[in-house]
Amino acid sequence: MPKGLAALFAASFVFYTDDYVIAGVLPEIARDLGVSQAVAAQLISVFAVTVALVAPVAAVVLARTPRRLLLVASLCAFVAANAAAAGTSSFTVLLILRVVAAAAAAVATPALFATAVQLAPAAKVGRYVAIVALGVTGSIALGVPIGTWIGGVFGWRAVFATMAVCGLLALAGLLITVPRGTSGGPVLDWRAQVRSLGRRPVTFGLLANMSLMTGSMMMLTYLAPFLTDVAAAAVDARALSFGLAGIAGALGMWGGGVMTDRRGPDRTLLIGVSAIAGSMAGLWLLWVVRPVPLAAVLPVLAVWGAAAFWNSPAIQASSPPCPAASPHRHWR
Tell me: do 169 and 213 sit in the same domain. Answer: no
* CB distance 310 to 268 below 8 Å: yes
Instruction: Give dist(CA 309, CA 311) in Å, integer.
Output: 6
Kindly report the backbone phi and psi dihedral angles of residue 213, in degrees, each rounded to the nearest multiple of 5, phi listed first.
-75, -30
CA distances from 311 to 206, 268, 307 (A): 12, 7, 7
Report pTM: 0.76
Tell me: do 150 and 274 sit in the same domain. Answer: no
At residue 89, what is the residue type? S
Tell me: do 87 and 168 sit in the same domain. Answer: yes
Tell me: do 158 and 224 sit in the same domain. Answer: no
At residue 270, what is the residue type? L
Tell me: do 20 and 70 sit in the same domain. Answer: yes
3-state secondary structure of 254: helix
Instruction: Give dist(CA 312, CA 272) in Å, integer.
Output: 9
Percent of the chain with pLDDT over 90: 36
The CATH number assigned to the domain holding 135 equals 1.20.1250.20
Tell me: do 67 and 94 sit in the same domain. Answer: yes
Tell me: do 64 and 197 sit in the same domain. Answer: no
Tell me: do 166 and 254 sit in the same domain. Answer: no
pLDDT one-digit tens code per residue, 246-276: 888 878 878 887 888 788 888 888 898 899 8
pLDDT one-digit tens code per residue, 130-151: 788 778 777 877 888 888 889 8
Tell me: do 162 and 212 sit in the same domain. Answer: no
Give CB contacts under 8 A, 24+ apart, made by 156-160.
156/25, 156/28, 156/29, 156/32, 157/85, 157/86, 157/87, 158/86, 159/21, 159/22, 159/25, 160/82, 160/83, 160/85, 160/86
What mean pLDDT comes out for the span 43-66?
86
Tell me: do 111 and 260 sit in the same domain. Answer: no
Instruction: Give dist(CA 70, CA 59) in Å, integer.
Output: 11
* CB distance 108 to 75 below 8 Å: yes
DSSP annotation of 54: H
Domains in the chain, number: 2
Which residue stretches of 142-199 are H helix?
144-154, 156-177, 190-196
Q: How confident is the model at residue 118 (pLDDT cuts 50, 70, 90)?
A: confident
Torsion 104-49-41-281 (CA) sign:
negative
Q: Tell me which of 151, 185, 219 is where a domain ends.
A: 185
Instruction: Give dist(CA 140, CA 133) in Å, integer.
Output: 12
Q: Tell me which of 128, 163, 185 is where a domain ends.
A: 185
Does pLDDT of 99 surpass 70?
yes
* CB distance 26 to 148 below 8 Å: no
Instruction: Give dist(CA 145, CA 126) in Å, integer.
Output: 28
Q: How confident is the model at residue 323 (pLDDT cuts 50, 70, 90)?
A: very low
Nearest CA-CA partner of 10 in 98, 139, 117, 186: 139
Q: Tell me which of 145, 170, 185 is where a domain ends.
A: 185
Tell me: do 229 and 131 sit in the same domain. Answer: no
What mean pLDDT comes out for the span 29-44?
91
Tell me: do 40 and 116 sit in the same domain. Answer: yes
Domain that holds residue 141: 1-185
Helices (H) and strands (E) in the chain, counts: 16, 0
Does pLDDT of 42 surpass 80?
yes
201: enclosing H helix or E strand: helix 200-221
269: enclosing H helix or E strand: helix 265-288
pLDDT one-digit tens code per residue, 176-204: 988 876 555 555 566 666 676 677 777 77
Nearest CA-CA partner of 130 in 319, 313, 325: 313
